[in-house]
Chains A and B, each alone.
Chain A
Amino acid sequence: MAENTDRSVCPATVQLLGKAQQEGVSTAFFRADQVKPCPIGADGSCCRNCAMGPCRVLLPRGKSDLEVEVTGVCGATTDTISARNFLRMIAAGAAAHSDHGRAVAETLIAAAKGEAPGYSVKDEYKLMKLALDFGIEVGDRPIEDIAVDVGRAALAQFSQQEGELAFIKKAPLKRQEIWHKLGVVPRGIDREVVEALHRTHMGVDQDAESLLMHGMRVALADGWGGSMIGTELQDVLFGTPQPILGQVNPGVLKPDHVNVIVHGHEPLLSEMMVMAAEDPEMLALARAKGAQGINVAGICCTANEILMRHGIPIAGNFLQQELAIVTGVVDAMVVDVQCIMQSLPKVAQCYHTRIITTSNRAHIPGATHIEFHEHDALNAARAIVRAAIEAFPHRTGRVEVPAHQVDFVAGFSHETIDYLLGGMFRASYRPLNDNIINGRIRGVAGVVGCNNPRVEHDAVHVAMVKELIKNDVLVLQTGCSAIACAKAGLLTPEAAGQHAGGGLAEVCETVGLPPVIHMGSCVDNSRILMAATAMVKEGGLGDDISDLPAAGAAPEWMSEKAISIGQYFVASGVFTVFGVTWPTTGSEKFTRMLFEGLEEKVKARWAYEPDPIKAARCMIEHIDARRKALGIDKARERVLYDMAMRRELEAL
Chain B
Amino acid sequence: MCEKVEVKEEKTRFDGVKVEVLGPTYEPGKPAGQEEGSWRRKLHDREEMLKYLKTGERYWYSGDWYGSERRKNPA
Residues of A in contact with B (beta carbons under 8 Å apart): 123-125, 128-129, 132-133, 138, 170, 172-174, 176-177, 180, 240, 242-244, 311, 415-416, 418-419, 422, 424, 426-427, 439-440, 472, 501-503, 506, 534, 536-540, 543, 635, 637
Contacts and interface: CB of A to CB of B under 8 A. Distances in A.
B13 A173 contact: no
The 7 closest A-B pairs by CB, nearest first: A539-B68, A427-B56, A503-B14, A537-B59, A173-B75, A537-B67, A176-B75
Nearest to B67: A537
Contacts of A132: 53, 60-61
Nearest to B14: A503
B38 interface: yes
Given A503-B14, A538-B68, A173 B50 contact: no
Contacts of B39: 242, 416, 419, 424
A439 B13 CA distance: 12
B71 interface: yes
B55 A538 contact: no
A269 B65 CA distance: 40
B46 A124 contact: yes
B68 to A, nearest CB: 3
B68 A502 contact: no
Contact of A125 (B16, B52, B74, B75): B52
Nearest to A435: B14
Given A128-B46, A128-B53, A173 B14 contact: no
A138 B50 contact: yes
Contacts of B53: 125, 128-129, 132
Given A125-B40, A173-B69, 16 more contacts: A124-B46, A128-B53, A173-B75, A174-B69, A174-B75, A180-B75, A242-B39, A415-B57, A419-B39, A424-B52, A426-B55, A427-B57, A439-B14, A440-B14, A502-B16, A539-B68
Contact of A240 (B12, B40, B55): B40
Contact of A177 (B15, B57, B75): B75
B34 interface: yes
Contacts of B50: 128, 138
A502 B37 contact: no
Contact of B66 (A176, A311, A537): A537
Which of B16, B59, B61, B66 gathers most chain A CB within 10 Å?
B59
Interface in B30-58: 34, 37-40, 42-43, 46, 49-50, 52-53, 55-57
A506 B14 contact: yes
A180 B74 CA distance: 13
Contact of B13 (A123, A242, A416, A502): A502
Contacts of B15: 502-503, 635, 637
A539 B40 contact: no
B68 A125 contact: no
B73 to A, nearest CB: 9
A509 to B, nearest CB: 9
Nearest to A139: B46
9 contacts: A124-B49, A125-B43, A128-B46, A173-B71, A242-B39, A427-B55, A537-B68, A543-B68, A637-B15
A536 B60 CA distance: 12
Nearest to A536: B68
A621 B49 CA distance: 41
A128 B49 contact: yes
B75 A502 contact: no
B46 A242 contact: no
A266 to B, nearest CB: 24
B34 to A, nearest CB: 7
Contacts of A502: 12-16
A123 B75 CA distance: 31
Contacts of A125: 40, 43, 49, 52-53
Contacts of A311: 34
A140 B34 CA distance: 31
A502 B16 CA distance: 7
A132 B56 CA distance: 14
A426 B67 CA distance: 13
Contact of B42 (A124, A240, A424): A424
Contacts of B34: 244, 311
A336 B59 CA distance: 37
A123 B68 contact: no
A177 B75 CA distance: 6
Nearest to A509: B11
A241 to B, nearest CB: 11
A427 B61 CA distance: 13
A223 B39 CA distance: 27
Contacts of A426: 55-56
B67 to A, nearest CB: 4
Contacts of A176: 75
A129 B68 contact: no
A539 B69 CA distance: 8
B47 to A, nearest CB: 10
Nearest to A637: B15
Nearest to A422: B56
Nearest to A146: B46
Contacts of B37: 242-243
Contact of A540 (B43, B60, B66, B68): B68
Which of A129, A418, A426, A506 gathers most chain B CB within 10 Å?
A129
A416 B67 CA distance: 19
A244 B34 CA distance: 7
